[in-house]
Structure 1
Amino acid sequence: MATPRADNLWGKSKTRVFKEPSNIVSKMSSSVAARSLASRCNSNIKPECASEALVLLETLLIGRNTKNLVVKIVSENIFLEGINDGGGRQTHPLMQEYQLTITLIEFFSKPGPRRDAIFHALFGSQLSPQRSSQLVKLVSIAVSISVVPVLTAAGTWLQQVGYKSTLSQEVTKQIVDDFAFYSLPAREQLKQLSMIAPHFAASFMVAVADIYLNERRSTGLTPPPEHLLDVFSDWITKNLTVCKAPPPVLGLPAGATAGPFVNPLASLMRWTILAPLVSQTAAYSKLHLSVLTTLQQLAAIDKSTAVANRELLQTAKSLQSYCARLRRRKLKPEDDAAYQRSMARFAQAVQIALCSKCLTNRYPLITALKALPPFKLMSIVISSSKRR
């Protein structure tokens, strides 16, 4: 079965009406000339204007005092917001999405400057439902056919708007849902992302990890789709750079800054530690081993490797909540097999993090661990931490 093509997400709509970008834009050296082209496009709004508008953005983003014009071009000439087809009829949203996605894929696939800035201009930090849907379609197609420039820009976007922001959560959840229904070859394609787009893979893992097995996001511990466990195991074992901070982000618009990089290993630790409370799937064991092995290897070559202490504190809090629920049922945590398995994994993770010197501030975590019902291996780890 072949890897899904771009048209899979839109049924049978395959009509292409875009023209190739005009070289007139590349010859423009002033915002005055840019405004002239914008005026020409605005007088005859059609989907084919999007190609020229994208190239126009390259010129506008270099100049000063063009923010308002950029917003106007993006809204009217690319997303066709509030624009009809010239005959009083609104453009069909599904066809518009399909056509624009093809144009964006073609544009980002060509070499050119300021791709991150253009991506930010298109999607920014606030998304309308239309733009959110467009972004999901664009990234899903980029994943399925390995369009690296789109994935690189999407990874920067996730880092910039915040991996755990509501916006990131909404977008990544929809992408996960897209691939949950894909064929096995498509999922195999997904596994290659750590090699071709490591920054996107890392950003995606952090954002997705915050959605599942997280009591701050839902009333209970909701497990992730099982196929993600194998995918993430492959990502972190095949390429250590997915867990390393990327080079500084360049080419963002003036005033825009990328947020801090977050190592995905701590978030995945939360998954594997809490998994026994909700699932007996063997894939969690594989992921747990992958996380610990990767942490050891990464710390050996990069002394700046750090595990987010707040993730481990959150894990300890979830275990405390689980024990409280057991006690309300007149059960002892010491006799609960799921709690015992979770604590065994937690002790292993803390021990590896301590030995690898990846915990930036271990004292709040040690205090939280002491508050948990006793577990022999964890007690040994806590005792040994005093000697470090």
Structure 2
Amino acid sequence: MTAVATDDDPLARVVREEWGRLVSLLLARFRRLDLVEDALGDAVETAARRWPRDGMPDNPAGWLHTAARRRILDRLRGEAMALRKAPLLVVEGEGDAARAGAVRADPGDLVEDDLLRLVLMCSHPALDPAAASALTLRLVLGVGTGDVARLFLVPEPTMAARLTRAKKKIVTAGIPFAVPSAAELPERLDVVAQTAYLAFTAGYAPGSGPDALRTELAGEAVRLVRVVLGLRPGEPVLTALLALMLLQHSRRDARVDAGGAIVLLPDQDRSRWHRDEVDEALALLASPALTGPVTVQAAGYAVQARIAAEHAIAPDAGSTRWDRVVAHYDTLLALAPTPSAQLARAVAVAEAEGPRAGLALLDGLDEQLPNSHRLPAVRAELLSRAGDVAGAHAAYALAIDRCANDAERALLLRRREALDA
């Protein structure tokens, strides 16, 4: 997808919200990933030129779909002429034939949800799981390449190269864009779960853009997990993931103030949390699906959910059992020793034992998180609490320089200004 609009442009918002659905519709009809991506990119570029001049169309997504469809048909006509395989009449009448092909290619009895169909298609076992998740985030859910790179803790050029390789493999290896049968679904669940988890993370911690959170993206991730769990009731990895998502999603209305500024967890109005979702999540954590042996992936989601549950069951921020939170992070690190989990544990230790204890645990993380703004932001906060104002200023400066999200940068600027107060 070509970046042609700023994040506050209406076109950019339409692209973010409708990209996945447009890709799904066009892929279901034409079955050509290369054509679909190029055509949608061309449509967005054309819209960026025409809409400011001619005005926003009444149905922006429909306009993009029509423009992309025409571009694909032009390409197909050109290919037909070049290869001299079929008369133009056949290409012009491709609609019914393509739809018939789609019915033959897909079992049709597994899912009716268009977006989930595309997620399942991108989770083909021939693709590396990480590449499949990254491709789905970029292609289906419209997460920017830079934000996908941040989720995978790699430089943006590295992620761009991975996405290119994955798309080339789909085209050159002839990987079919087809929904798996019910028997094939289990081998794709882990990738689907990981993709939904990353999409949810991108929704609540956008790496770039103006928004403090993208509630619609996070909500779509929750919905997808619910749909798949309906197909596989009691599946541990989905049960644990849904519990984690619901506990985090329940706080959505309290995460920003009326002006769109970020409200940190200790300052949130807990009466605005969705208690029905908290109760559902706690019930999922206690369900039989998670009482027996589970995979490492399911266990990781369950532990993260139990961390979120500690905040949910505390009547106020001051009542949070940070010792239990630290113990949960110890379990999580034993399952998956990621730098992000180490950073989060350092925060929990600082709450339980004081800022100096947390600061000591940040040593060595700079090499593992060289581009992260959250590491220097945490360091700045802990240095401030420890009374090192000069050190906190320097750490905030680094965090602000690295931060590409407008709402988070505004928060960091406010907190740096508060140091002098």
Higher helix share: 2
TM-score range, shorter chain: 0.3 to 0.5
After TM superposition, the score normalised by the length of structure 2 is: 0.33
After TM superposition, the score normalised by the length of structure 1 is: 0.36
